[in-house]
Structure 1
Amino acid sequence: MLRAALTVVTIALSSLAHAETKVPSSQAEISLGFAPLVKEAAPAVVNIYAKRVVEVRESPFQGDPFFQNLFRDFGAARPQVQNSLGSGVILSADGIVVSNYHVVGMATDIRVVLNDRREFTAEVLLADEANDLAILQLNDPEEMPYLPLRDSDSVEVGELVLAIGNPFGVGQTVSSGIVSGLARSGAAAGTGQGYFIQTDAAINPGNSGGALIDVNGDLIGINTRILTRSGGSNGIGFAIPANLVAEFVDQAKAGNTQFEKPWAGATGQPVDADIAESLGLDRPGGILISALHPESPFLAAGIAPGDVILAVDGNPITNGAEMIFRMSVAGLGGTAEISGILGGEPATRDVALIAPPEVPSRETVQTSESTVLPGVVVSNINPALTAELGLPLKSEGVVVHGLGDFGARVGLRLGDVLLAIDETQIESPTDVEEALRQASRRVSMLVERGSRRVTLRFRL
């Protein structure tokens, strides 16, 4: 009976290109379970202890359900040390480590502890909050154990996987499960905007940045977060695919300190059943392009609003996050093959993978001490700044991307587009300096915030 059950498992595993088909031949092999695999992979998974200094305001209204929101910037700011605990994975013998941004982002002191209790300090080479990834370099590393990266596009639902990390700070722990879903875009809570591998292997706080490995010990993803209402693992965890990790490592080794992803310069909506029927498509899927920036590489390749994008480099897509993921994995500098219904006919186009351009050139002004709001930083909007601040595609004018000492107190926010100050229409960054220098004791500012227009009034 046991041998028959093992044969069923072997048949399931035989569909995995990287798995070795073998029935355990002895009771000793059966009792080992995943032990040989864990013994080989665990040394490359590390614990990470990070410290960061943040500015904290002590407000007398803290805890009040009404006034704490009205006076969130009230009170003097003072520095406070925050500690974070997470996991990481060594990717090369020379000490390249990958972890999550929310573990090491903005950290001033990082300590990495190996499974054999050796400790190293580390520096962040590249970090990106949107993708929740960070690449570290260990200081003075020895010959390090590491995990090889597997092509995450070859991963299939139902594969056996192990999650290795340091949940709740109790020490290195291993949990097992399967890949329960692929192409989970935006399914995880938090700042992550990526494209995830879903697993039912238990992932808890502290597992962040740890390894999700297959039955050969190859890294298929970096554990990042869970979907939960209780705060505990409910069998829905998410990992960042190894292919995106590989692109991060390449950019870090090239000297990038910020992750550069290709810019589409396009907006669209997923093609659901109703849209598919109206377009004469046989099934839902893909993205209906609704708008393109004049500098968009899609527009330059001959793609127009109303076209439907179905695949990037042969990989089907269903939403914008998947499209950007596929472009990010391909990397900057080359081209991506875009397939879809273009101009009413099935077609493909080669689209250049470019960074958001600085067109027109960025003009930046920091308001002087002679103005009513010194230290506010404003710039004219271009594609690079639009991508940096997450502005709507067709934003124009002058945007705030530095608040100075008093900007937040009068209600300004990063990403506000300035339309007018008092009676002066704002058309360039120098207009802001001039208007704030001539402002009276009562100041009125009209800003565009997302899809809303907001008037800020304050008195000096």
Structure 2
Amino acid sequence: MRYIKMVLSAYLILYTNLAIADLADTIEKIKPAVVGIGVHTPSGRQKNSLNGSGFVIGNGQYVVTNHHVLPEDLDESILQQMAIFTGSGKNAKVRTADIVASSQLHDIAILKIHGGPLPAMQLADKGFRREGSYVAFTGFPIGAVLGLYPVSHRGIIASITPTIIPVDNAQQISIKMLKMLRNPYLVYQLDATAYPGNSGSALYDVSTGDVIGIINKVFVQESKEAVISKPSGITYAIPVKYLLALLQEHNIDYLKAN
């Protein structure tokens, strides 16, 4: 019995090391397709603001992020535009973009960028990945403070669960939440920690880099202010099947160019 435990332990270590090695290669492959999402104000004192993360898909001219990352309004009087930020650090560049599709229910938005194509990520099929599958996501946690430096987190799919938001009392229930309670859809619960700025990051397979979901929220234990100092370690992601449906609804070609 002791021998069997030793063999199983050695196998687990080997498998984990292989997964980590795969992830290093995968991160190197997908990083050029990871972008920041924000607002460009050419006449403003602060020309660029970073609101969240996103990733490039299809022919390299479409970007996916969360609906809640989009600004509520753009001030045309100061020429504000949706923008994506490519590269990292001092090499970061700004590209303007238009919103071409969005779903508030599934918290997904699709932008079309101006200019030439960018490196893109491959979307997985619409099937759910199994619980226990190794996954990772790369984005810009606390990007407004730390700047455009992509950060990767890894973990597993801990559960496939209805998207129902827990509340402390009935007064916290909104009309939007009641609608979701009547028709909840399934999302991935992860054992990895996301932070403000990670919203819109691609959730991908550690071996292939195929996108299987979109990071959209983290369970907060106490308050929004405590999410950095006291993270819960529970993150949620929208499965890619809802993105595929939105792309098809708007006749957007999501196949990655060769």
Query: Is TM more than 0.5 here?
Result: yes
1:133 and 2:108 matched: yes
SS of residue paired to 1:34: helix
The Cα shift of 1:188 comes to: 7.2
Q: Which amino acid aligns with 1:185?
A: T
| Correspondence 1:52-451 to 2 at 5 A | 85-108=51-74, 109-115=81-87, 117-142=92-117, 144-169=118-143, 170=146, 171-187=149-165, 193=180, 194-215=185-206, 216-230=208-222, 231=224, 232=227, 233-253=231-251
The Cα shift of 1:51 comes to: 6.8
- Residue by residue over 1:354-381, the C-alpha shift from the partner in whole angstroms, topping out at 9 and shown as x without a partner, is xxxxxxxxxxxxxxxxxxxxxxxxxxxx
**Unaligned stretches of 5+ in structure 1?**
14-22, 25-29, 53-82, 256-460
Distance in 1, Cα, partners of 2:51 & 2:7:
43
Distance in 2, Cα, partners of 1:31 & 1:226:
24
Q: Which amino acid aligns with 1:242?
A: V
Distance in 2, Cα, partners of 1:92 & 1:254:
9
Distance in 2, Cα, partners of 1:3 & 1:172:
37
Distance in 2, Cα, partners of 1:157 & 1:150:
16
- Contact 1:225/1:238 (8 A) holds in 2: yes
Summarize the Cα distance change of 1:209–1:254 in structure 2 as closer, same or farther, 3 Å threshold.
closer
**Unaligned stretches of 5+ in structure 2?**
42-48, 75-80, 168-173, 254-258
- Contact 2:62/2:111 (8 A) holds in 1: yes
- Contact 1:159/1:178 (8 A) holds in 2: yes
SS of residue paired to 1:253: coil
Distance in 1, Cα, partners of 2:62 & 2:28:
21
The Cα shift of 1:4 comes to: 6.1
- Residue by residue over 1:310-361, the C-alpha shift from the partner in whole angstroms, topping out at 9 and shown as x without a partner, is xxxxxxxxxxxxxxxxxxxxxxxxxxxxxxxxxxxxxxxxxxxxxxxxxxxx
How many equivalent pairs are there? 210
Give the root-mean-square deviation of aligned CA atoms.
Answer: 3.2
Residue aligning to 1:7: 11
SS of residue paired to 1:113: strand
Distance in 2, Cα, partners of 1:107 & 1:46:
21
Distance in 1, Cα, partners of 2:166 & 2:61:
29
Summarize the Cα distance change of 1:244–1:8 in structure 2 as closer, same or farther, 3 Å threshold.
same
Summarize the Cα distance change of 1:86–1:31 in structure 2 as closer, same or farther, 3 Å threshold.
closer
- Residue by residue over 1:367-419, the C-alpha shift from the partner in whole angstroms, topping out at 9 and shown as x without a partner, is xxxxxxxxxxxxxxxxxxxxxxxxxxxxxxxxxxxxxxxxxxxxxxxxxxxxx
Summarize the Cα distance change of 1:9–1:92 in structure 2 as closer, same or farther, 3 Å threshold.
farther
SS of residue paired to 1:167: coil
Q: Which amino acid aligns with 1:172?
A: P
The Cα shift of 1:155 comes to: 0.2
- Contact 2:57/2:122 (8 A) holds in 1: yes
- Contact 1:48/1:86 (8 A) holds in 2: yes
Question: TM-score under structure 2 normalisation?
Answer: 0.70
Structure 1 or 2: more helix by fraction? 2
Q: Which amino acid aligns with 1:44?
A: A
Distance in 2, Cα, partners of 1:187 & 1:152:
24
Q: Which amino acid aligns with 2:239?
A: P
Summarize the Cα distance change of 1:5–1:94 in structure 2 as closer, same or farther, 3 Å threshold.
same
